[in-house]
Amino acid sequence: MPRRASSSAHPLWLIAAALLVVAAIVGGLLIRSQGDPFRAVAALPVKDYLDNSSSLRGNIYKLDATIAKSIDWSASSGRLFAVESSGEMLAVLVPPQFSAINIERGQRYVFKLEVGDKGVLRVQEVRKS
């Protein structure tokens, strides 16, 4: 009586498939985590900021916003922009250290910013999104 061929998968193929699945999951997590450069920073509560900006003074937040227009420029202070976020308009001060970045109307950026004295939103880092 002839022997039948084994129909089960070879253990090496199972191990290779498991490693491939793990590599795909890790790769997906790495790619997705790079999409948000300030993922560890809390989002600016826009409504709270507009209600009482002094209560948020000294805190650091991220803000995903679209540049609405350039308001003012100073060599010592930097550039002041009007940005739109969550349907609200805010003023953001971009210090002179970021003067090499070409910020234009209609572009979308993610800002890491600090709520300064008198509620001024002063940018610490900026990334185009």
Three-class SS of the chain? CCCCCCCCCCHHHHHHHHHHHHHHHHHHHHHHHCCCCCCCCCECCHHHHHHCHHHHCCCEEEEEEEEEEEEEEECCCEEEEEEEECCEEEEEEECHHHCCCCCCCCCEEEEEEEECHHHCEEEEEEEEC
Q: Is 68 in the same domain as 109?
A: yes
Q: Is 18 in the same domain as 54?
A: no
- Looking at residue 20, its pLDDT comes to 87
Of the pLDDT bands very low, low, confident and very high (cuts 50, 70, 90), residue 6 is low
Number of separate domains in the chain: 2
How would you label 89-109 residue by residue, b for 16+ Cβ within 10 Å and e otherwise? ebebbbeeeeeeeebeeeeeb
- Looking at residue 67, its pLDDT comes to 97
| Between 31 and 115, residue with greater pLDDT | 115
Q: Is 34 in the same domain as 50?
A: no
Q: Is 106 in the same domain as 54?
A: yes
Q: Is 31 in the same domain as 81?
A: no
Q: Is 124 in the same domain as 74?
A: yes
Q: Is 14 in the same domain as 76?
A: no
Backbone angles phi, psi at 76, to 5 degrees: -90, -35
Domain assignment present for 4: no
* pLDDT tens digits along 13-64: 888 888 888 888 877 766 665 666 788 899 999 999 999 998 999 999 999 9
The DSSP bridge partners found for residue 63 are: 111
